[in-house]
Amino acid sequence: MKINRFLLFGLSVLGITAIDAQEKRSLTLDEAVHLAWDKSNEVGLANAKVSSKKYELQSVKNNQYPDFKISGQYQRLANASINLKSNQNNSSAAALPVVDQLMIGQANATLPVFAGFKMQNNIQMHENLYEAETATASHTKEEVAMKVINYYASLYKAQKTVALLKENQKRAEQRAYDFGELEKNEIIARNDLLKAQLQVSKIKLSIDEATNNENIINFQLITLLKLPVGTQLEIRESDFANFKMDNIPTNEQPALENRKDLQAIQLQGKASKSNIKMAKAAYYPSINLIGGYIALDLKNVVTVQNAMNYGLGVSYDLSSIFKNGTAVKLAESKATEIQNSEAMLTDYIKIEVQKAIEEYHLAIQQNEVYGQAVAQSSENYRIIKDKYDNGLADTNDLLEADVEQLSANINKTLAKANIIQKYYALLNVTGQLTNTFTISKL
């Protein structure tokens, strides 16, 4: 009895766990997008890269401040020989002292004054690179949002398809049952019953495929959102019903103004110009202000205190006249690469926008056609059903009309979601997607 109790307890726990795992969670599209922005690896990596560029910029800015160094030494001297030149001709000089230790303390400060404007251009370059990385991170957020939208819409389509197929399955099973009764009474041929049963089997296969597709998309979405394994998402009808589409782009101009990836490459182009100026800075000398303090004690010989020094330091690498030309050409070549990449991206964006516009209008046209197809298929099924009941149509005609009606209903149901998906895709390629959600700073 104890074993049975433990067994029952274990089964009950497993049952509760299974129910919890299968419990569906309702999530709006806005919630899903923000969850992805907070949890996805792509956005996390983009934010980390922005932080790295920020610290790189701060590190470069720190180079414009003076370098200040303090050092000290204490040394023991073994059997040091002291020869004071000033006492060589003084025969009456006292015996030389024993020198066995040396202490030195010093402080030095260096302030860069001029280096061919290298420092200013280096700061400007890293500022542009930081802004470029920030723009890239914003573009990553848009791409992640679009990925969520695609998964979200696909999951909605899959769930609606399963629901419509199950609804049709009930009608098909009822028809097969009715045909079975008619076949028992020899009113219809057995072949007609088999056709009705075959349609039930086909619908079951379609449901299995649609359910499998739903499970795959659901897993992809919860993985992106970092939700617990086993979470079943239920898409809200409200995210697709009465959806308003405003400010629909009609050309590529919004994309050229708002695309963050284009802004990033433009900022990289500005950074490359600063890099060219940095390379040319090697042709100029470096000038620094220098200052220092030193204290020295050589035991029993000399003590130096408050020895201040200051002045101007100049350095010039003469070999740069011959060697630096290659570095300048390299910087100019990289700038040319970025210019070509910007031109290529601009053309690609124009093509993307035009394609998205065409696909959006196509989705609208398809929605209108599917609406007509639903009415036509419903009327066709009604007519065929009347003819079948009056012996003017065969089973093939009835089943074919039923399949056409089901197909039309599925297409019409999914058409609205497809329009919304294409609308978001159009906003994405024109750089306006994140504006439709509450924007959170990177």
- Could you tell me which residues come within 8 angstroms of residue 408 by beta carbon, excluding any fewer than 6 positions away? 370, 373, 374, 376, 377, 378
Contact 363, 414 (CB under 8 A): no
Contact 232, 93 (CB under 8 A): no
What is the SS3 assignment for 81? coil
Q: What is the pLDDT along the chain (442 residues), one digit of tens a residue?
A: 444 444 444 444 444 444 444 567 888 888 999 999 999 999 999 999 999 999 999 999 998 888 889 999 988 877 767 776 655 555 555 566 777 888 999 998 888 888 878 889 999 999 999 999 999 999 999 999 999 999 999 999 999 999 999 999 999 999 999 889 888 888 888 998 899 999 999 999 999 999 999 999 999 999 999 999 989 999 887 777 777 888 888 899 999 999 999 999 999 999 999 999 999 888 888 888 899 889 888 887 788 888 888 888 888 888 878 888 899 999 999 999 999 999 999 999 999 999 999 999 999 999 999 999 999 999 999 999 899 888 888 889 989 999 999 999 999 989 989 999 999 999 999 999 988 886 443 3
What is the SS3 assignment for 230? coil
What gap in Å lies between CA 156 and CA 414, rounded to an integer? Answer: 8
- Could you tell me which residues come within 8 angstroms of residue 262 by beta carbon, excluding any fewer than 6 positions away? 255, 256, 342, 345, 346, 349, 431
Length of the chain: 442
End-to-end CA separation in angstroms for the chain: 61
What pLDDT, on a 0 to 100 scale, did the predictor assign at position 322? 82
pTM of the model: 0.82
What gap in Å lies between CA 267 and CA 129, rounded to an integer? Answer: 7
